[in-house]
Amino acid sequence: MLRLEPRRLRATRSFWSSAVLSAKSTENPYTKTILLPKTSFPLRAEAAKREHLFRDRCTKELYPWQLKHNPKDLFILHDGPPYANGNVHSGHAMNKILKDIINRYKMLQGHKVFYRPGWDCHGLPIELKALEQIRIKGKKSLTPTEIRKIAREKALLEVDKQMASFKSWGVMGDWNKPYLTLSNDYEIRQLRVLVDMIKQGHIYRQLKPVYWSPSSRSALAESELEYNEHHVSKSIHVRFRLSQLAPALAEKYKWGDTPLYALIWTTTPWTIPSNKAISVHPELRYALVKVGQDAYVVASDRVEALQQELEAEHIEILDQVQGSELLGSEYIHPLNQENLPVIGGEHVTAESGTGLVHTAPGHGMEDYEICLKHNIPMLSLVDDDGKFTKEAGERLQGKFAFTDGNHAVMDMLQNKSALVLASDYTHKYPYDWRTKQPVMLRATAQWFANVEHLQTQAVENLKKVRMVPEVSIRRLEQFTLSRKEWCISRQRAWGVPIPALYDEEGNALLTETSVEHIIQVLQERGTDAWWEEQDDQVFVAPEYRHKKYRRGYDTMDVWFDSGTSWTMLRDMPGRDPQLPLADVYLEGSDQHRGWFQSSLLTSVAVTGKAPYSTLITHGFALDEKGNKMSKSLGNTLEPVLITEGGQDKKKNPAYGVDVLRLWVANCEYTRDVSIGPLIIAQISDSLRKVRTTARFLLGNLHDFKQQDYVDYDQLQEIDQYMLHELYSYNDRVTHAYDDYAFNR
């Protein structure tokens, strides 16, 4: 929006001034006082028929023209790469059109606008499409090379389809040179970011519990989880007989030869075979209680709740002890008869369960950390498919942990008289956001980025970023501060390889020297060579060739892929190097835990600053009732149905792209927004009024001549007032656009 100076505005004609009438008596003296607009501008848009006539001029031709002719400095809006899978939807339209509105405004201000669209091309959904070829072609399996070839073809096909949709919405950009995370240039840039993080000590490998998705057979980062609020788990109370009482406990337990049991509660029965300790809080009070003929240790604050859960008529409290007085006790594992310790843990509470926590270091982060302090070994008896291994024993081997494995463990506990209570329990539980299946915590050797080293610097950098809306900084800060580490390795074929080598003892080699050598090889041959090359030694740097090494085949988290897209903006000609790489990042609110955060962390790790000056967050597109749109619910409204209409044009008219764009411009995008047939019809009516007004104005100007100009000082007061109102309105609109408040 161009700023207008009030005294430089001129009226095309003063309709309020006295008319100069012809002296001829044969003419009606009022003929020239009647306003008869005349224009070839059509009343009806007929958008579906006419839009293609103007699209290239407004997009394809305009983009290079403004880069060449606009005088002001470069404005960079960096495109968050959509995933190259599936059809575009209303959320895509809101995202791309918002970006285009900003870019066109900056262009009108005289800036050279740089906007290079991008696509996120790796990851599980595309790999699964490649694996479908096993069924289609009747093969038993595909090699990693075959998977990668098919996945690449699928991704590029999806990019072409999505690009055609984005271009049809009138989005201006460098469509001839999009950035793709599967390109060799991009992958090499990404690997160089990894090298920089290795040099700074941010990358390490460790055996520890991670979120593991049996359905995708891969580790997941927290950002790849979604939570099912209605997940149903098997909930069990299990008793463990104390075989040795700590001195203070033994002194207070006066119930003869009757055994004392530690009672625990868990919603993961399948982890009981991997139990290595029971944790108590040293400062909590614990009660020694009698339930029927049995004696248990439970948190004092949980006795009443336990009575209700067990449906016990009466629970007798024999005595009470401090949690610290339980430490040093031992118990017998009912399934393997192993003597195990009772240990102290600050994570234990009396808010739920029994106040004693079943501790399996192979299947829980807190369990892992507390056992690490006590030098308790880790045990995990579940494989990549979520099934029990041979080490779990004949009764469990091959059973899926979440289903028949759970039931088998419960039966085994029942046979050992260790199962006190079992029931269904509905609660929030993490799911794989791609496959929509539950995940587990499972100990595996993975590569991590140490986020804790970067948190303070990342949050400090966020304070320098303009946030739209302002409150969004809290959400991004919260996600950034809530994670100590980032699991960056995935056990998939379709992705950028983690260039790690392993010696014959299984020790990993991931040093600056080694990775730099590997990058040189992959830059020449492409990353497919990591799977295609027969000789491992090709990838071994000369400094390490005194030993034999083999390649590891983990790939990088796709958030690391997309999170390094800021590297495509480095060394941009005409850009002030003191500024952040991009003026604006704009994406949906789900990217606070995704692309916004991964971009921040990788950029801070390598450059010491955030990659963006302004970060804009938009909401989700919902249906007219405010519900999430879903094909299964039948409440979706695809953009193409708005622009091109359906088969029944009366029911689904072809509104054209301007109606879709006006919907975006008209909505309060910082919140979730609604879209549906009624809303689009209302937007169409609004656009029709704008069009009618424009047609009227053009009609008034049909016979305008240069000599009709009237200088501002010679105008009537009412004309000057109207021009002042126009100037004020233009100024308000300009400020609104500067604030990215397009609907204000």
pLDDT digits (tens, 9 = 90+) for 437-455: 999 999 999 999 999 989 9
pLDDT digits (tens, 9 = 90+) for 651-709: 889 999 999 999 999 999 999 999 999 999 999 999 999 999 999 999 988 888 888 88
Domain check: are 610 and 637 in the same one? no
Domain check: are 242 and 350 in the same one? yes
Q: For residues 722, 723, 728 and 732, what is the CA-based torsion angle, rounded to 10 degrees?
A: 100
On the question of pLDDT at 16 being above 70, the answer is no
The string of DSSP codes covering 645-663 is --SSTTTS----HHHHHHH
On the question of pLDDT at 277 being above 60, the answer is yes
For residue 67, the domain's CATH number is: 3.40.50.620
Domain check: are 281 and 416 in the same one? yes
Domain check: are 611 and 638 in the same one? no
* Largest Cα span, the chain: 131
Confidence of residue 29 (pLDDT cuts 50, 70, 90): confident
| Burial (CB count <10 Å: 0-12, 13-18, 19+), residue 447 | buried
For residue 383, the domain's CATH number is: 3.90.740.10
Range(s) of the domain holding residue 665: 622-709
> What is the share, in percent, of the chain residues with pLDDT greater than 70?
96
Least confident of 138-142, 215-219, 422-426, 464-468: 138-142
pLDDT digits (tens, 9 = 90+) for 629-646: 887 778 889 999 999 998
Q: Are 601 and 590 in contact (CB under 8 A)?
A: no
| Burial (CB count <10 Å: 0-12, 13-18, 19+), residue 78 | buried
What 8-state DSSP symbol labels residue 595? H
On the question of pLDDT at 25 being above 60, the answer is no
Confidence of residue 30 (pLDDT cuts 50, 70, 90): confident
Does 253 fall in a domain? yes
Does 604 fall in a domain? yes
Confidence of residue 18 (pLDDT cuts 50, 70, 90): very low
pLDDT value of position 276: 97
Mean per-residue pLDDT over the chain, rounded: 91
542-563 burial, b at 16+ Cβ within 10 Å, e below that, comes to: eebeeeebebbebbbbbbbbbb
Name the strand (E) or helix (H) holding 158. helix 144-168
pLDDT value of position 26: 62
- Tell if the pTM clears 0.85, that is, is over it: no
The string of DSSP codes covering 488-554 is -EE--SSS-B---EE-TT--EE--HHHHHHHHHHHHHH-TTHHHH-S-GGGGS-GGGTTS--EE---
Does 683 fall in a domain? yes
pLDDT value of position 2: 45
Domain check: are 603 and 700 in the same one? no
Q: How many Å apart are CA 376 and CA 374, to the nearest integer?
A: 5
pLDDT value of position 51: 87
pLDDT digits (tens, 9 = 90+) for 237-256: 999 999 999 998 998 888 77
Domain check: are 198 and 61 in the same one? yes
Strand order across the 440-450 sheet: 218-220, 203-213, 440-450, 485-487
Does 651 fall in a domain? yes
Domain check: are 357 and 302 in the same one? yes
Average pLDDT over residues 272-280: 96
Which residues, at least 6 apart from 404, have a Cβ–Cβ distance to it below 8 Å? Answer: none
Domain check: are 382 and 462 in the same one? no
Domain check: are 255 and 277 in the same one? yes
Domain check: are 703 and 589 in the same one? no
Domain check: are 331 and 358 in the same one? yes
Domain check: are 189 and 304 in the same one? no
What 8-state DSSP symbol labels residue 216? T
